[in-house]
Amino acid sequence: MIEKKITVKDPNGLHTRPAKQLVDTARQFSSDITLVKGEREGNAKNLIKLMKLGITCGSEITVRCSGDDEQEAGDAVLKIISEMTD
């Protein structure tokens, strides 16, 4: 299992468009991918669970991946989050 932290810099946080892109990307991998914000966590392959996390600008989140392609999955998800812009 790998875990990496990242701070969301998009002024709109994780809103619908990038969240959908993140879900579509996460579903390409066999690994379990979870985003963690504080005490809450959500499956990165489920749009509703991600939106319920309430990830806003400045939120520090942890990307947790576990599985055969965990490194690639983590890198892909982190890339989407780091490139999010309005």
Residues identified as active-site: 15
DSSP 20-61: HHHHHHHTTSSSEEEEEETTEEEETT-HHHHHHT---TT-EE
Q: Say if CB 35 and CB 50 are below 8 A apart.
A: yes
Cα distance between residue 39 and residue 71, in whole Å: 24
